[in-house]
């Protein structure tokens, strides 16, 4: 299996029946690179690495190609429009001056090369604060948008820390975190603020779509063994 260049998004997923044989850490078989824990030796995969399947009674005979797939039409309901990211205003939003508040929703923000699973650093017109205040470390979560001392932004991602001392001006809604994770360095995003109710409705809608996709996969998987 080879991928010469990305067509949609930045990441792809490969699942096998029964799962991969890897180290479990904090309830997950994924790898946390900064902590060097979990997954395969706690590091990124390298050429010639071999990962075994878990022992399972599942087996395939022949090279049968299933006559079904998940279309872009279905996944597009979650991942499109790819570069428009919804968020809600957070606790330190009012530390921004009025011009910066407008620029937050008006400007495009480029994902920089200094981005990783801990956080996406954004580059754009700097956002200014009309108040000088000392921040203490406070709780943060995946999707928290913080204003850095230089006026640029960082969005915390899956491997984020639990506390941070930078102003939390916004938070990406949970329904848009999957598509934000598929944006590559060099690409641009724009933010659109929504209400908490809109954020909750979007999450419910996404979960319904995923439930329908899972049901379709399960149905076709069962048909495969009956044929």
Whether this prediction's pTM lies above 0.85 is answered by yes
Domain boundaries, the chain: 78-201
pLDDT digits (tens, 9 = 90+) for 135-178: 889 999 999 999 999 999 999 999 899 999 999 999 999 999 99
What SS3 class is residue 187? coil
Domain 78-201, CATH number (from 1.10.10.10, 2.40.100.10, 3.40.50.20, 1.10.3720.10): 2.40.100.10
Which class for 6: exposed (0-12), middle (13-18), buried (19 or more C-beta within 10 A)? Answer: exposed
Per-residue pLDDT, 43: 93
Please give the structure tokens belonging to residue 104. Answer: 């937050």
Per-residue pLDDT, 226: 67
Using 70 as the pLDDT threshold, list the residues of the chain that sit under it. 56-67, 224-227
Rounded Cα distance, 24 and 1, in Å: 26
């Amino acid at each position: 299996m080879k991928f010469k260049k990305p067509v949609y998004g930045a990441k792809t997923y490969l699942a096998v029946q029964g799962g991969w044989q890897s180290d479990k850490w904090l309830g997950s078989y994924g790898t946390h690179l900064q902590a060097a824990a979990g997954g395969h030796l706690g590091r990124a995969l390298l050429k010639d690495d071999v990962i075994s399947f878990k022992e399972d009674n599942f087996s395939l005979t022949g090279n049968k190609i299933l006559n079904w797939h998940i279309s872009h039409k279905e996944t597009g309901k979650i991942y499109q429009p790819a570069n428009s990211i919804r968020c809600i205003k957070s606790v330190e939003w009012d530390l921004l001056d009025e011009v910066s508040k407008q620029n937050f929703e008006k400007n495009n923000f480029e994902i920089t090369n200094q981005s990783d699973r801990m956080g996406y650093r954004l580059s754009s017109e700097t956002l200014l604060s009309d108040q000088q205040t000392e921040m203490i470390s406070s709780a943060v979560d995946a999707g928290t948008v913080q204003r850095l001392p230089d006026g640029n932004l960082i969005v915390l991602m899956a491997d984020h820390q639990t506390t941070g001392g930078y102003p939390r001006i916004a938070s990406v809604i949970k329904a848009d975190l999957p598509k934000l994770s598929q944006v590559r360095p060099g690409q641009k995003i724009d933010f659109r603020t929504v209400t908490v109710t809109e954020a909750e409705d979007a999450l419910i809608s996404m979960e319904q779509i995923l439930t329908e996709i899972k049901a379709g996969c399960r149905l076709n998987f069962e048909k495969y063994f009956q044929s």
